[in-house]
Amino acid sequence: MRRPAPLPVRDGLGPARVRLRGGSVLVELASRFGEAAAEKIRSGEVVTADGSVVGLGTILPPGAFVYLYRELGEEVPVPFDMPVLYRDDDIVVVDKPHFLATMPRGRHVAQTALVRLRRELDLPELSPAHRLDRLTAGVLLFTVRREVRGAYQTMFARGLVDKTYLARAAVSSRELPVVLRSRIVKRRGQLQAFEEPGEPNAETLIEHLGDGLYRLTPRTGRTHQLRVHMAALGLPIAGDPWYPNVVDVAPDDFSAPLQLLAHRLEFDDPLSGERRVFVSSRSLA
């Protein structure tokens, strides 16, 4: 298990963790991230994994880590609310909007559900128990305290949560419901996940509720699983810019959200044993 970061969350954002190639930390950070990173060392703002401040002459071996606060670039604000569906001392459950990433990654940092909630609720240890794609809206669960994080994340990792999604697509001419099983692979650096021959690792129950509205019940949790499976049936989800083909969409274009909603989460609470049910208040166009 990864040890806690040696720097606290600041303004909703934890420190960046940088794995070193080895040698002078000053030289390496300056060559990789520019003068701004080197200036952080001069200002005493870079620390090692044990919290020691990195100095101008600090030498560290290959594979060592240092921590520093990143400089935030400009981000396009996501102009949608994120209602809190439930909150107690252990968890926060929200109704995430489309276009908002779950947690910082790539160009999406401040405009993420995690950072927004840490700032709005003043909960620096808040952490997602699972993830939703940036383009998917719906029920998303966070843990409030570090002590309970593992119990909820393990529950999701072991498939102990019943998840139900709603999606809109063309009206199907094939017989439904159907259980689709396939092998889905997502490779680093590629936008799309894809199916390939081999032992199935993804399973989805697909039901048509009428008028192009579908209920999707995933029994596994592969990346983009629902989007891949619907496209494989010849029923790509409305508004999907990646499946079956990648379409370039401007970062400030919120006009055509992906018609996929994480509608319902249901599980036995790993701490209390209580049956929990959370339902999105959102609807699809």
Work out the average pLDDT over 217-233.
Answer: 96
The catalytic residue positions are 133
**What is the C-alpha separation between 88 and 84, in angstroms, rounded?**
11
What is the predicted pLDDT for the residue at 89? 97
Q: So what's the pLDDT on residue 106?
A: 78
Task: Provide the H-helix boundaries in 129-248.
Answer: 146-157, 225-232
The one-character DSSP state at 285 is -
Q: Which residues contact 178 (CB under 8 A, 6 or more apart)?
A: 205, 206, 233
16-68 is a CATH 3.10.290 domain = yes
Q: Distance between CA 22 and CA 186 in Å, rounded?
A: 31
Q: What percent of the chain has pLDDT over 70?
A: 99
Q: Which residues contact 263 (CB under 8 A, 6 or more apart)?
A: 138, 139, 164, 165, 166, 279, 280
The average pLDDT across 233-259 equals: 95
Q: What is the per-residue pLDDT across 177-202, written as a single tens digit (0 to 9) for each?
A: 999 999 999 998 888 999 999 999 99
Between CA 71 and CA 18 the distance in angstroms is: 14
Check pLDDT > 60 for residue 1.
Answer: no
Determine if the pTM surpasses 0.75.
Answer: yes
Amino acid at 118: R
Render pLDDT for 92-145 as a digit per residue (tens, 0 to 9).
999 999 999 999 987 888 999 999 999 999 999 999 999 999 999 999 999 999
Selected residue with higher pLDDT from 75 and 263: 263
Domain ranges of the chain: 16-68, 84-279
Q: What is the pLDDT confidence band of residue 258, given thresholds at 50, 70 and 90?
A: very high
pLDDT-based confidence at 223, cuts 50/70/90? very high
Q: Which fold has domain 84-279?
A: Pseudouridine synthase (3.30.2350)
